[in-house]
Structure 1
């Protein structure tokens, strides 16, 4: 049996507002294992990781590291003692090189000056040791997402991390990139490192883990050997109930469906660099068209042009047969467009406003909500209460500030608001990123409900499980082009899609032309 490197004993965290994030958590992490922590958003995973990494302090309980009780004052002290953390949102300086990012704060010196020659040599040696194919002299701004992640991991290894916490490390990776990362994690394990792996992707958790701990409502629901527990059992432990395996049975055909969105000849360049090249597709009522692709391959520009957040250069976009190219965002919404943005905190909500205000922020001018001079406050609150109940938003009151909610509940508010406009066209961009399996399942059902009621849905997601489970038809984008089109997903595997996402495969023009309804 492997020795215990980290032991959490009766860890409890109660915030000043009375919220209990963790309650009597007991977990042992062994040297040289991959140990996953799974649970819903708001279950207490992030708080627990912050306590281990000394960003937060526990209210009660003890932490033992290498057999000794520890009281780290801050994350710098945790790092000095061999604990590293790779956050979901990378903490890199784009204008610095890989080497500069890796050594930042711990630079080798020659006298009083930074010895960059030594920094490059040390970081190159480190990358070689752990089989990371990274050019340490490159600027971070030029790297792919998977390469940036490697840099983050190398940062922790440079500081001699023995225990590494990885928060949602595969969120934006292709299947092939995920497999490559897993090979490296297995190598870390073999060289004596301990990996704490946080993820909502249970198939990956099952594949990579030695042991898995489930947290629900701030309490542990057991630690299991990965080989002894199924994905269905994990799901039930995480959310307290079973989930269906397929959405197909919930989808209903829409009769006499007409084309809602028509995109033709769309081209867009930025500073002379082509971001979108000859994009053509259409979507009918009652269907979900998915777009798969590694982040940064034109999906963001495409969505922003369709929704009016960015001006197009060439091409035509029609909603319900009407050219909306010159319309304002308000006019596009009036024509039946709704939008779930990728970044809910930046683009989806007003963080300082109440839940009620956020619930109606895109249609507050509706006659039942707004009078000639004043808003109809009572009606607004009744509408917010109705949506809170329908979408199972966990809150004490619609008057609470929206940023007091967990990520999953904030996303439910955004989806509820957009669902409530009865859209002709719903553009859903990463609709469940970073939220738990229960909340994601609920949101998926609401998207299918819109589809069944005659909306056309454009779904963009970096999560291949999601895009394959929900989509009726699917496009793949690579370097601003549509490189593949599937009018059915039956028999299509994630690995096949991954080859198109990486630019290894490319369909013929004739096959891709099938994405347009003639």
Structure 2
């Protein structure tokens, strides 16, 4: 059997950690091959070795049967290997074409021939059904489009083998459908794909084979048609995983959050929350379902004091909190798991221990007369790290060195520990693996069972259906419907999210 890529017994070490321990991966021509593992299992490291960003300590790489040394990404490109990174490598102020040709410019008489490049980009874009405007500026296009630009960049460089690193982590359900179609087109054109992911649904839908790695070791390669999500989940985590979140019926009590007629503008001054009404009671989880860009981010920012609201009221336990400072709102009883953990959840260059007290460092016992008491801070951090199973070499490790799942657990530990009356969880499991997702869902339900109000905002429809007690659908900045998870389906929710009226979507119209 001829493989287009063979990675044989690869070992990659970093100080104090073996990221890849003797892993073998073989890619056949014309297949989509999944690389599956938990956060921090070593998937991206293995692919960075293949792409020439890291050098392995041991092992051999063969391309079409020939042993090769890939010492940098240019050599990978020359061998026909392209990589679409999870965090896009694009220049915001450049156009699509300028980004694609960067480093491979077409010149004529010493000048860059942008017209010729645009034609070339348009040709490739049409051939693979990518529908990208070559002249658009990166800062003006959606995340899904930016990803297509990354794909075009690899195709422009003649890639035959494409590595996709967690490609659906930042996409809406509609964009995921389109990406899956693009991958199928690429395969039909004779390309081969390695897909790094921990989303089992996608593997079942689009992949031919799957290689599972756990804690840096290769667990095995399976044919997708001979396996199922439960088997893959337990191979990946090393134990059985429960997909349905177990929970008893809610027992809602008094109103904790009451929003009426709220208007919030975005950074361009356009009202994106537009007369929104919503209530969340103690002892229930209300999920907000909607396509990205319908005012979710601005709504959360207004509740948490990160953005001014124009008009309307936000009441917490009967008291108005709109336009108060974030600290006053926090102290009034709001906990916030932000949607972007790097920008708003952590100070990445602080130790994880200090990140655990970002909301309480100015209170006793963590400080006295303005002087921080590090002994108490780190004592608290050790307790939370243990309680929330944050896997870190120590409490002094910098936050940026932890995997996404462990960063998220640290934030959740910090917010839940303060025992807020209202916990806002925005995209709480974005980019996390099944083990971490299960852990986080349990914690949200625990908060609810302790009589707290939980507001969950997520683009993952199965998460909304699974965890929420009531679902509020947001469309163009308004709540257009409130439905019960057991009385609706993902299809109906999808229609409501796209602006269909409730009768058309086939959902009962009683609130």
Question: TM-score, normalising length from structure 2?
Answer: 0.94
Match status 1:370 vs 2:401: no
Q: Distance in 1 between matches of 2:476 and 2:237?
A: 38
| Partner of residue 500 from structure 2, selected from 500, 505, 510 | 505
Is the Cα–Cα contact under 8 Å of residues 250 and 469 in structure 2 kept in the other structure? Answer: no
Query: Which residue of structure 2 lines up, in the alignment, with residue 336 of structure 1?
Result: 333
Query: Which residue of structure 1 lines up, in the alignment, with residue 482 of structure 2?
Result: 486
Q: Distance in 2 between matches of 1:443 and 1:404?
A: 21
Q: Distance in 2 between matches of 1:471 and 1:60?
A: 48
Is the Cα–Cα contact under 8 Å of residues 168 and 197 in structure 1 kept in the other structure? Answer: yes
| Partner of residue 306 from structure 2, selected from 271, 296, 309 | 309
- Structure 1 residue 332 displacement after superposition: 0.5
- Single out whichever of 134-143 and 197-206 deviates more from structure 2: 134-143
Match status 1:415 vs 2:412: yes
| Partner of residue 75 from structure 2, selected from 74, 77, 94 | 77
Match status 1:495 vs 2:491: yes
Query: Which residue of structure 1 lines up, in the alignment, with residue 232 of structure 2?
Result: 234
Q: Distance in 2 between matches of 1:254 and 1:313?
A: 34
Is the Cα–Cα contact under 8 Å of residues 172 and 294 in structure 1 kept in the other structure? Answer: no
- Structure 1 residue 514 displacement after superposition: 7.5
Give the match's secondary structure for 2:212: strand
Query: Which residue of structure 2 lines up, in the alignment, with residue 135 of structure 1?
Result: 133
| Partner of residue 456 from structure 1, selected from 432, 443, 453 | 453
Match status 1:470 vs 2:470: no
- Single out whichever of 311-320 and 225-234 deviates more from structure 2: 311-320
Q: 1:118 to 1:506 in 2, by over 3 A?
A: farther
Give the match's secondary structure for 1:316: strand
- Structure 1 residue 372 displacement after superposition: 4.0
Query: Which residue of structure 2 lines up, in the alignment, with residue 7 of structure 1?
Result: 6
Q: 1:173 to 1:400 in 2, by over 3 A?
A: closer
- Single out whichever of 47-56 and 457-466 deviates more from structure 2: 457-466
Is the Cα–Cα contact under 8 Å of residues 11 and 23 in structure 1 kept in the other structure? Answer: yes
Is the Cα–Cα contact under 8 Å of residues 333 and 422 in structure 2 kept in the other structure? Answer: yes
Query: Which residue of structure 2 lines up, in the alignment, with residue 40 of structure 1?
Result: 38
Give the match's secondary structure for 1:486: strand
Q: 1:496 to 1:166 in 2, by over 3 A?
A: farther
Give the match's secondary structure for 1:84: strand
Is the Cα–Cα contact under 8 Å of residues 38 and 434 in structure 2 kept in the other structure? Answer: yes
Is the Cα–Cα contact under 8 Å of residues 280 and 513 in structure 1 kept in the other structure? Answer: no
Q: Distance in 1 between matches of 2:167 and 2:394?
A: 34
Is the Cα–Cα contact under 8 Å of residues 473 and 481 in structure 2 kept in the other structure? Answer: yes
User: Equivalent residues in 2 for 1:96-175 (5 A)?
Assistant: 96-175=94-173
- Structure 1 residue 376 displacement after superposition: 4.2
Q: Distance in 2 between matches of 1:343 and 1:368?
A: 29
Q: Distance in 1 between matches of 2:170 and 2:494?
A: 12
Query: Which residue of structure 2 lines up, in the alignment, with residue 21 of structure 1?
Result: 19
Cα-to-partner distance string for 1:442-462 (whole Å, 9 max, x where unaligned): 111111111111111111122
Is the Cα–Cα contact under 8 Å of residues 485 and 512 in structure 1 kept in the other structure? Answer: no
Query: Which residue of structure 2 lines up, in the alignment, with residue 198 of structure 1?
Result: 196
Q: 1:468 to 1:120 in 2, by over 3 A?
A: same
Q: Distance in 1 between matches of 2:115 and 2:400?
A: 45
Q: Distance in 2 between matches of 1:493 and 1:467?
A: 11
Question: TM-score, normalising length from structure 1?
Answer: 0.93
| Partner of residue 399 from structure 2, selected from 387, 399, 402 | 402
User: Equivalent residues in 2 for 1:263-278 (5 A)?
Assistant: 263-270=259-266, 271-278=268-275
Q: Distance in 1 between matches of 2:164 and 2:439?
A: 26
Is the Cα–Cα contact under 8 Å of residues 31 and 208 in structure 2 kept in the other structure? Answer: yes
Q: Distance in 2 between matches of 1:329 and 1:274?
A: 21
Q: Distance in 1 between matches of 2:281 and 2:197?
A: 34
Query: Which residue of structure 2 lines up, in the alignment, with residue 353 of structure 1?
Result: 350
Q: Distance in 2 between matches of 1:136 and 1:499?
A: 31
For structure 2, the residue ranges without an aligned partner over 5 or more in a row are none
- Structure 1 residue 272 displacement after superposition: 4.2
Give the match's secondary structure for 1:235: helix
Query: Which residue of structure 1 lines up, in the alignment, with residue 258 of structure 2?
Result: 262
Give the match's secondary structure for 1:69: strand
Count of residues in correspondence between the two structures: 508
Q: Distance in 2 between matches of 1:339 and 1:514?
A: 31
Is the Cα–Cα contact under 8 Å of residues 252 and 452 in structure 1 kept in the other structure? Answer: no
Is the Cα–Cα contact under 8 Å of residues 340 and 429 in structure 1 kept in the other structure? Answer: yes
- Structure 1 residue 66 displacement after superposition: 1.8
- Single out whichever of 451-460 and 224-233 deviates more from structure 2: 451-460
- Structure 1 residue 410 displacement after superposition: 1.4
- Structure 1 residue 89 displacement after superposition: 2.3
For structure 1, the residue ranges without an aligned partner over 5 or more in a row are none
Superposed CA RMSD in Å reads 2.2
Q: Distance in 2 between matches of 1:366 and 1:244?
A: 39
